[in-house]
Amino acid sequence: MKNEVDMNSLKLLADPHKLKKYKHISVQYEGFKKSLESKFNYAIDNNLYSHLLGIIQVELIIDAIIKDIINQAILSHSP
């Protein structure tokens, strides 16, 4: 506990906004993680959660690219 307080103090000294950003991300992280855990009734550890976030990110990028290709094809074939 004391070590964590020391680390947060050092972060605050280095960049006052860094500690604020860290807390904000932590809240979103826990909310989404808890939502997944409750949806699937399964305890998710941090490694699995990071892996799932990576998979979701890749899928979203693929979806965006496919939508762009479809839109370009529709526009080029429009009369």
Confidence of residue 17 (pLDDT cuts 50, 70, 90): low
**3-class SS string, 49-64:** HHHHHHHHHHHHHHHH
Is the per-residue pLDDT at 46 higher than 80? yes
pLDDT at residue number 67: 95
Q: What is the overall mean pLDDT for the chain?
A: 79
Is the per-residue pLDDT at 45 higher than 80? yes
Report which DSSP code applies to 1: -
Confidence of residue 77 (pLDDT cuts 50, 70, 90): confident
